[in-house]
Amino acid sequence: MSNTSFFESVEKNFEKAAQITGHPRGLLDQIRVCNSVYHMKFPVKIDGEFQVIEAWRVQHSHHRLPTKGGIRYDSMVNEDEVMALASLMTYKCAIVDVPFGGAKGGIKINPKQFGVDSLERITRRYAAELSKRNMLGPGLDVPAPDYGTGEREMSWIVDTYMALNPGSVDGYGCVTGKPVTQHGINGRREATGLGVFYGVREACGVAEDMAALGLSAGLAGKKVIVQGLGNVGYYSAKFFQDGGAIIVGIGEYEGAIYNANGLDVDDVFNHRKSTGSILNYPGATNLNVTAEILEQPCDILIPAALENVIHEGNARNIKAKIIGEAANGPVTAEADEILNAMGIMVIPDMYLNAGGVTVSYFEWLKNLSHVRFGRLNKRFEQNSNTRLVETLEELTGKKLNADEIQRIVKGPDEIDLVRSGLEETMINSYHTIRQQLKSNPACNNLRTAAFVVAINKIASDYLAMGIFP
C-alpha cells in the first residue's frame, strides 16, 4: 500500500509539472492550495434516534465561478480525500475548457446501511448546511453525483435549494446530474463512461503511439478489464464492448471474474443483480481477492472504483499496456513512476473521466437558458435537409429509400447534441495534452503533460486578473 495520502499524491504530480511551467512560486502555490475547506457535523434523526453526521465541502479554486464537483457517500470519506478530489476537479475543468473552479463534497456514511428515508434526510440537511453558508447555488458552487450518489440525491438537493430560495429563476442550475424529468439533461447518466470510451479510443487511434506499445491501432479486438461496475465502470465497459473491444475481466468489491474469450457486460450486470454477486458467472474464472483483477492479462485496464488501487505493492504486476483512469486517483504517485518506467501508457483521470463534468456543464447551461438543446433548431434543420434531398432527387432523377432519407434529414435531438459536444471535447483535449507531451521534452508522460496544460490555463486566468502582475 502507499504511504502517500491521496492529496499528497495529487500535489506530487502537480509539483512535477509546476517546475516545468516556469511560473512564479507564489502563483503556483495559489493554484495548488485549496481555497476553502468546510468541515461540518450535523444531527439527523435516524429511526427515531439522533445521529451525528460528518461531512465536507472543499472549494479548491475560486479563479472561476461557480465551483463544481461531485458529492461522495462512503464510510472512508475524509478531509484529505475530498481535498484531493476537489483539486483534481480544478485541473479537469481547465483541461476540457469547462469554465468552473474545482470543488468536491463528501459525507462519511455507508449509504448501504441507511434506508431511503434516512438518506433523504441526510442529503437534505447537507444541502441546507451548504446553502446557509452560501456554498450552494448556480453561481456559487454546483455539486453533482460521485461515488455512492446519483440522480436521486441530486433531485433531493435541488428540491431543498428551491425550497430555501423560492423564486430563484436559475435555481435549477444549483446542482447537475439531476433526473431528466427534474431539469436534468439527456446523456448525463452515461457521460463519464462515454467520455472514458472516447478518450481511450482517441489514444488507441494514434498508430505511432500504439506501435510504441506493441499494439495495433484502433480499439477493435483489444482486451479490456474494468474494475468497478458502478455508474462509470458499467457505462465504460458497455461502450468499449459496443465499440468492438473485448471485456475479459470485471471486478467488484465482492470479487472478480475473468474470461480471456470475453464477457457480456449486460449479462454480467444482470447475473450480479439476480444472484447478489459477480462471482460464479458461467464460463468465467472466479478471483476471490478482488484486487487480483488488476494484474490479469489484458491490453487496457480501466480502474473505475476508488483511488490508490494501483500502488507500489502491485504496480510491477500490471500486464496491461494502457491504463485508463476512469476513477479519480486510482494510481498513486509512486506507482505512476513505476508504470512509466515499465513503458505503460497511463491516460490520466483529470482528462479521462472529464466527460461527467463536461455534460454537467451542458446541463447547467440548459438550466440557465431554460430551453432544451435542439428545441429551436431541430425542425428547422430537418426541413432544410428535406428540401435539399428533394432538390438532389429532382436533379439526379434518383430516389433514396425512407431509411436513407431519415438518416440524412433528421434534425438533432438533445442527446445527439450532448454526445457530439462530449466527443468533440474529449478528442480536442486529448490532442492538446498529447501535443504538449510531444513538444515539451521535460514532460515524460500524459499526466505531467495534462498538468502543464491545466496549470498554464489557470495561470493565465490569474495573470489576466492582474493579481500577479
Nearer to ligand NAD, 360 or 436 (CB): 360
Positions touching ligand NAD (CB under 6 A) are: 70, 145-148, 192, 227-233, 251-253, 290, 304-306, 326-328, 353, 356
Q: Report the distance separating Cα 175 and Cα 157, nearest Å.
A: 7
- What strands, in cross-sheet order, belong to the sheet with 255-258? 285-287, 255-258, 246-252, 223-227, 300-303, 322-324, 345-347
Nearer to ligand NAD, 253 or 468 (CB): 253
Residue nearest to ligand NAD (CB): 230
Least separation in angstroms between CB 360 and ligand NAD? 8
Nearer to ligand NAD, 287 or 458 (CB): 287
27: Cα separation from own chain's centroid: 27
Nearer to ligand NAD, 202 or 209 (CB): 202
Contact predicate 176/158, CB 8 Å: no
Nearer to ligand NAD, 173 or 324 (CB): 324
Q: Report the distance separating Cα 71 and Cα 65, nearest Å.
A: 18
Least separation in angstroms between CB 243 and ligand NAD? 19
Give the β-pairing of 101-107 and 49-59. antiparallel
Contact predicate 339/448, CB 8 Å: no
Least separation in angstroms between CB 148 and ligand NAD? 5
Q: Per the residue annotation, which of 16, 104, 222, 223 is the catalytic one? A: 104
Helix, strand, coil percent content, the chain, rounded in steps of 5: 50, 15, 35
Least separation in angstroms between CB 192 and ligand NAD? 4
What is the three-state SS of 102-171? EEEEEECCCHHHCCHHHHHHHHHHHHHHHHHCCCCECCCEEEEECCCCCHHHHHHHHHHHHHHCCCCCCH
Least separation in angstroms between CB 231 and ligand NAD? 4
Identify the CA nearest to 309 among candidates 264, 256, 354, 272: 256
Least separation in angstroms between CB 113 and ligand NAD? 14
**Cell numbers given for 102:** 474545482
Nearer to ligand NAD, 21 or 367 (CB): 367
Residue 104 designated active-site: yes
Q: Prior bond to 469 cis, omega within 30? A: no
Q: Report the distance separating Cα 181 and Cα 245, nearest Å.
A: 33
Convert 177-203 to b/e letters by CB count within 10 Å (16 or more is b). bbebeebbbbbbbbbbbbbbbbbbbbb
Least separation in angstroms between CB 383 and ligand NAD? 36
Nearer to ligand NAD, 204 or 327 (CB): 327
Residues carrying an active site annotation: 104
